[in-house]
Each structure stands twice: as structure tokens, then as C-alpha cells.
Chains A and B, each alone.
Chain A
Amino acid sequence: MRIALRNCGLIDPEKIEEYIAEDGYFALGKCLTEFTREETIKEIKDSGLRGRGGGGFPTGLKWEITKNVEAGQKYVVCNADEGDPGAFMDRSILEGDPHSVIEAMAICGYCIGADTGLVYIRAEYPLAIERLKIAIKQAREFGLLGEGILGTNFNFDIELRYGAGAFVCGEETALIHSMEGLRGEPTVKPPFPSVSGYMGKPTNVNNVETFASVPVIINKGANWFNKIGTEKSKGTKVFALAGKINKVGLVEVPMGTTLREVIYDIGGGIVNGKEFKSVQTGGPSGGCLTKDFLDTPIDYDNLIAAGSMMGSGGMIVLDEDDCMVSIAKFYLEFTLEESCGKCTPCRIGNKRLFEILTKITEGNGVLEDIERLRVLSNVIKDTSLCGLGQSSPNPVLSTINNFEEEYRAHVVDGKCPAGQCKSLLRYDIVEDLCTGCTLCFRNCPVGAITGERREPHLIDQSLCIKCGVCFEKCKFNAITLI
């Protein structure tokens, strides 16, 4: 079911006529000529649309709050600072259907009383920027942006603001500071942007996918939209399927679809027929779910209850070869680099978490470290300033909660069950099987193997870098990997 992606792959994004042919700008026309601002907001509220950027805040309510703040100048901001590694639905929408976002921003501007829209888009998306620029230009030429749109007295225009690719700038207060030319770091809410946002004016921030759903809701009606999905999560959600899955790509499914349907039916199952181990949802701040959750219908609340989150819709599938400690470490490394450094728990706490995880994957962990990770993770969640810090320990907590035995294998048995943590691997030569052919000896890049021809060889563990060349080269299965 494609709503946000409805025109992607269908129309030429650089031709406004093709968008119009698919009922483009009719939602805006309907709002301006048939609906009052209140009625439009009611439609969005009734549809049950929630923010697709990760927070899941009801979109109509956000519009209503911003509308109700008295101010001469207000702003509509589109958050196109898509920063989750592996998520690219916003880019696809902007590249494939930029007008849907422009139209929705204009509708939002009409509702809240703003005449200026700003798209905060990452500079790493040159094609999206290019197509958006073309689309804005065409919309202006057609009179769909500018003054007196569709013969009414509604004025609205859109400007672009470029982000330098800081993940934290997806947080709305940080995004606004970045647009103002300040350091991209969040401030305490309240005040919310709806009250005091860009340049201190009431500002409504929504993400690309949220906006892209709006024209359909207006055209098809709230009742059409809210029949799709689950009780508290309406409509569809785009997921970026990646990892050990056969059909990597973007899928848009109704809320309430199960993980199994997405991974097996749409994604075509696990690569090379390996066994499913976990699925990581919600981007770097999300969590890793086990196969027990495969039949859980996906919606905002179920994912949170399961210890993960919707986030912007990243979905990374892991198989039996993935080490969960390393996965937690991978995500944490990302947040570590993307933390703005403003608050202590995120700045230093995540660093310490990362160091403990590194210690574990290098085989130096102790049992106490697992508890230490838990305690510290909970404090970071409890005390961080913004959503980034508050959710940054999620990959750690969810992997400990769901795969504690794997952590224990690292620290108690000194083993990495998935065979990913090199420091925990050990290659040995089985004396009885070794023929002394010297093949391993000749291929070892660090000279860790010694032995006379036709005599059993020996690996010096202190020199071995666990590259596995000997293991691959040996023709007699004389090398074991523990």
C-alpha cells in the first residue's frame, strides 16, 4: 500500500504537469476553496496521522497548537535532515515526488497561518535538492506558490536551508538553531517550536514522509486514511529494509503489518537461507528484536513496548553470523560521533558505554560489565537532554535484554558465538591432521606459523592476527577455529 510513495517511480519528478495529472495540488485547492483552516486541521486530526520522523506526535494536534499561538509571523519547516544510517525514504520522496511535500507544506501554512516554508535538507542530497529546486520553481511559475494562490488571498513560498549532515539536527530544536546559523544543538523543551521556534516565531516542524501523506488524506478523506492501520497508528509507514535480506529496498506497508510479512513476504527472507536472528528497527536509537517479535504487528506503541521504536523507519535484518555485542557497539559508535556534546550523559556516558562494549568484544570484559552497561544505559536514558541521548542506549539495552547469553558468552566463556569478534577467535593446528605441507606457513602474513616441512606446524598465538588465511588455505582441515 503506497501513500507517501504513491508517485515515486510513476511520474517524472521534474514535470509539475505529471504531478497535477495525479490529482496534484487538488488537496491544496480543496483546502483553500472548500475548507476553513479549522476544518482542514480537523481532517488531519481525524485521520490519526502521526509524525513519521520518529516521535509519532499527532500531526493534526501539532498544527492546531501552532495555529492557536498568536503571532504575526509563523513558519512551516520540513525536516529533510534524514540522518539514520540506512534510511532513505525521505530522499526517495524528494527525488521522486517533490511536489507532494511542497503541496503539503502550503496546506500546513494555510492551517497555521504561515506564509513561509523552509525545507531543512542535508547538503549530501544533491539530487533531492536539485529536484526540489526545480519543483519550487515550477510551482511558482504555475502560481501554486507565491501570492494569491489559486485566486485566494493565501500567500505561501518556500526556501531551502542546507544542513551539514549532523544527525542531532533532526531533533527539531537543534534543527531550528542550525537554520538560524547557530551551533546545531538542542535546547530544553518547553518552549516547543510551536510556541517559539525559528527566529523565536511559532514554527511547525514535520518530516518529509509526514508531509507526503497529507495531500492524500485531504483528497481521500480522513475516514479513508484512518481505516488503514492499527488502533493508535493509522495509515502506512515506509521502511528501509536492509541487512541480511534478499530484497533490499523501500517498502511502504499499512501500520499493523507484522515483521514476518515485511521480512519474509516482501523482503524475500534471509540471504543464503541463513537463520534469522534479529531485526533492528528505529535507526541508531532503536532496538534489536528477536524472532519472538516476528508476529508483532508493527506500530508505534508495539515497537516501544518491545523495547525498540519506529524511528524514521530503518529496518536492518541480522542473521546468525551477526554478533549482537558488535551490533550494539556499531550503533553506539554512530551516536557517539553524532552527539552534540551539550549534556554530560550523552557526551561522556555514551563514550563510557562504548568503551565497555569494546572491552567486551576484545575479550577483556568481566561479568560485572553487563550490569554496569545496564545501569549506565538507564541513567543516560533518564538524564539526557534530548531524544538522541534519551534513546542512544537502546541498542545496548535491547541487546542485553534479548541476547544476554551472547554477552555472557563473551565475558564468561571468552567466546563470540557469531564468530565476529576477532580477539575472541583462536586458530589452532591439529597435530594429527597436519601434513607439514607448509602452505599455511607460506601464506601467514605475520609469520605466526612455524614448523619444519613434513612436521606438524604451530601457530604462535601472540603473533596471530586472526586473519583466517591459514584456515582457508589448509587442504587437510588441520586448522580449527574456536
Chain B
Amino acid sequence: MYKIKSLDDLKQIRGEVQSKNSLKRNGENTEQVVQIKVGMATCGIASGAKEIMKFLLEECEHQAIDAQIKQTGCLGYCYAEPMVEVQLTDAEPIVFGYVDKKRASEIIEKYIMQGEQIGGEISISFKTIND
């Protein structure tokens, strides 16, 4: 466990995490090529995100997909919960809405495994603080 004792310590941690993330994005980390985020705020969970998360974990293991699956907060598109964001190596992240188990397996089998566009993604239009 780090104990951050100065601004430099903080910078070091930021650097480590950022470079790990960029490695993944560029496909240089061979272990986990797919990054999946599931919106797990109250709104998502209420719409079934926990089940989807569990399903994704099981399916990826079952299909032997090296995916990093993690939870995240609310994206704001409450009308389309549960939402799953998938980022493949060298690709822009895609956000899928209204994800039920059927849709989740479609995402795995078609988009993740075969790179096939399956449509129905939610366009993310807002600007970030870095834009």
C-alpha cells in the first residue's frame, strides 16, 4: 500500500496507472485485450446491471476471452439502462444500451469475438473537460 507523502508520490501513481491504461488501449498488454465497463450506479443496478455483469464475467470466462470487466458509475442515459461500454484494442469505445442477457451474448459473440457491428449503440455527444 502506498502512502502518498508528497505531490511527487501522487504524480508517480498517476503515471503508473495512466501508462498501464494506455498499454491496454494500444493492445500492448496482451493479457487483457477487451475492456468492458458496466454502469453500476443505482439506476443501472435497478435495471438489472448486476445480472449483466455476472453474465459477462461468466461468459467471457466460458468463451476464454481475456477481458477486463469493471464497474463504473452512471453515464446519464438512464432511459437506456443497463448500459455496457466495450472497448476493443485500437477501437473507439462503444456504448450499448438496453442490455439484457440476449443482447449481452450478442455483444460477446458478434462484436467482441468477431468485430461485427451490431448496431444500437448510444452516441456519446458530450464534451469532456479535456476537449
Number of A-B contacts (CB under 8 A): 121
Kindly state whether residue B82 has any CB partner on chain A within 8 Å. Answer: no
Number of B interface residues, CB 8 Å?
Answer: 37
**What residues of A have a CB within 8 angstroms of the CB of B5 in the complex?**
143, 150-151
Q: A96 contacts B72, CB within 8 Å? A: yes
**What residues of B have a CB within 8 angstroms of the CB of A467 in the complex?**
none
Which of the residues B13, B77, B129 comes within 8 Å of A220, measured between beta carbons? B129
Which of the residues A20, A142, A144, A151 comes within 8 Å of B14, measured between beta carbons? A20
- Determine the residue in chain A with the shortest Cβ distance to B126: A2
Give complex CA distance A10, B39 in Å.
9
CB distance from B27 to the nearest CB of A (A): 19
Q: B10 contacts A6, CB within 8 Å? A: no
Task: Convert A1-35 into 0s and 1s, putting 1 for each residue whose CB lies closer than 8 angstroms to a CB of B.
Answer: 11101111111111001101101111001000100
Number of A interface residues, CB 8 Å?
Answer: 49
Task: Convert A174-203 into 0s and 1s, putting 1 for each residue whose CB lies closer than 8 angstroms to a CB of B.
Answer: 000000000000000000000000000000
Q: A12 contacts B14, CB within 8 Å? A: no
Q: B72 contacts A127, CB within 8 Å? A: no
**What residues of A have a CB within 8 angstroms of the CB of B77 in the complex?**
247, 249
Kindly state whether residue A95 has any CB partner on chain B within 8 Å. Answer: yes
- Determine the residue in chain A with the shortest Cβ distance to B39: A9
Q: B73 contacts A3, CB within 8 Å? A: no
Kindly state whether residue B108 has any CB partner on chain A within 8 Å. Answer: no
Kindly state whether residue B60 has any CB partner on chain A within 8 Å. Answer: no
Task: Convert B50-88 into 0s and 1s, putting 1 for each residue whose CB lies closer than 8 angstroms to a CB of A.
Answer: 000000000000000000001111111111100001000
Give complex CA distance A2, B126 in Å.
7
Most buried by B among A2, A6, A251, A266: A2
Asked, given contacts A12-B70, A246-B79, whether A91 binds B41 with beta carbons under 8 Å apart, the answer is yes
B residues with CB within 8 A of A: 1-7, 9-10, 13-14, 17-18, 21, 37, 39, 41-43, 45, 70-80, 85, 125-129
8 closest pairs, A vs B, by CB?
A: A96-B73, A9-B75, A250-B76, A21-B17, A249-B78, A8-B73, A92-B74, A95-B41
